[in-house]
Chain A
Amino acid sequence: MPSKLLSLLDRVILPIRFLFGALFIYTSLWHSLHGEKFLQSIKDYQIISGPIVAWSGFLFIALEAGIGIALVFGFFVRQAAIVAAALLAVFTGVIVSAIVRGLDIACGCGLGDTQVGWFDVVRDVLLMAIALLIAWRTGKNAEELSTEQSAEQLSAVK
């Protein structure tokens, strides 16, 4: 990849990371505040049922919040981005499964109460790509790269 493009990517990766993390924090808050609705959405997918629904919902919210906060505050960025990509891959699979089974259900994504459709799949794939991009450009020592350091690096680049 041309070095200019990589340089440009490195300039924008920090705001992208912030926005991406903020999105996860927002959806985790939305899911926390609309717990019942969220659990109903999980059940609507008809993949899991019973008591496991509530605990998986809780685990999902905890993961979402963890990813969002890690990305925004600059801790374990690479790991968080990889987990985010994995989570989004699972969502994509689940949504495709719902579409294939002809389920007419709400997405439950926390980004509007829309019915599941191919738009959700495209959106999740794009988000997954962003997560992988963050993981790639952040490097192996991302946990040591604080937000401040990132900002300093950005200033230095400028």
Chain B
Amino acid sequence: MKNIRAAVAVLSYLVIVCLAGYNLRGQLFGKSMPATPTNSTSAAPAQAAPEPASTPGAQSDLKSQPETTPQLVAQAEPSPKEKAGLPTTPSPTGKTKDTHSQQSSVPVAGNGAVDVGERLPDFLLIGLNGNTLNESALRGHKTLFIIVSPTCPHCQKELKLLHQIENEYPSIEPVFASVAQRDQTTPLADMTGEGDHIYTGAMDLGRSLGVTGVPFLMLIDEKGVIRLIKKGELDESAFRDVLGKFMHGQPVAQLPNVMLPEVTLSMTTKLFGDQA
């Protein structure tokens, strides 16, 4: 009888552990797991999932430094894989045709750096409207992805501007990823009217990309490949130029440098671009 009970106990334990392992397989084994569905908005993040960015200290500790050149990190160029001739054409439905193997051949940003031609590491952001967003959900459409802080005046200005003009670029999905917590980010939504596009939990993503200042803008194509990286604020004409070309699939021209105070991201929660 004792043996039977022991067997049942072991079996029960194995069932629960296997269930946990199965449900967490994406996070546990990262990139080696099958890709999540293209349009999923709640699929599990793989590899090093970033922690939410909460920042009790995000509203302070601005470390503004003397003016430096901002920060056009890179700009629209085909990825190395595209140069190598890998298929890049979206399907007639607008969805990418990439298989997992092709997608995984695109270099993944992270470890403190990001470059054009790479894709974002897996992440999980929580929207102010309750939706979740991960890396695979970016595929299938063009995305304007900006890492912001609610206390950064440049971010506030940029989001207000985008709120006015984003309807002119319907095929580009805006994503504003806040490094602050929900309660700290909500005022940004009230201020800009962008509540449906604002997500929280971007602190770790920012760190993994080596982000040293906000706003940190990226244009990401239908396959999740980063086409443009721009640190600092853009004015309206530059935005219109960039978004127009990106929407129509044209190469995005080199942007003029904009002089902005450089802002620094400290080891923990201090955030660049924030007001003291």
Contact = CB atoms under 8 A, between A and B. Distances in A.
For B1, B5, B16, B56, which residue has the most chain A Cβ atoms within 10 angstroms? B16
A65 B16 contact: yes
Given A32-B16, A50-B48, A39 B27 contact: yes
B147 interface: no
Contact of B21 (A31, A58, A69, A70): A58
A49 B204 contact: yes
Contacts of B21: 58
A118 interface: no
SS of A interface (majority): helix
Interface string B187-216: 000000000000001001000000000000
Contacts of B23: 32-33, 35-36
A103 interface: yes
Interface in A81-125: 101-105
Given A55-B28, A73-B12, A74-B5, 5 more contacts: A36-B44, A44-B52, A50-B49, A53-B51, A104-B183
24 contacts: A28-B16, A31-B20, A32-B19, A35-B24, A35-B27, A36-B23, A36-B132, A39-B27, A43-B51, A48-B51, A49-B50, A51-B30, A58-B24, A61-B17, A61-B20, A62-B17, A65-B13, A65-B16, A73-B5, A73-B8, A75-B6, A75-B9, A104-B181, A104-B183
Interface of B: 1-2, 5-6, 8-9, 12-13, 16-17, 19-21, 23-24, 27-28, 30, 42, 44-45, 47-52, 54, 56, 124, 126, 132, 181-183, 201, 204
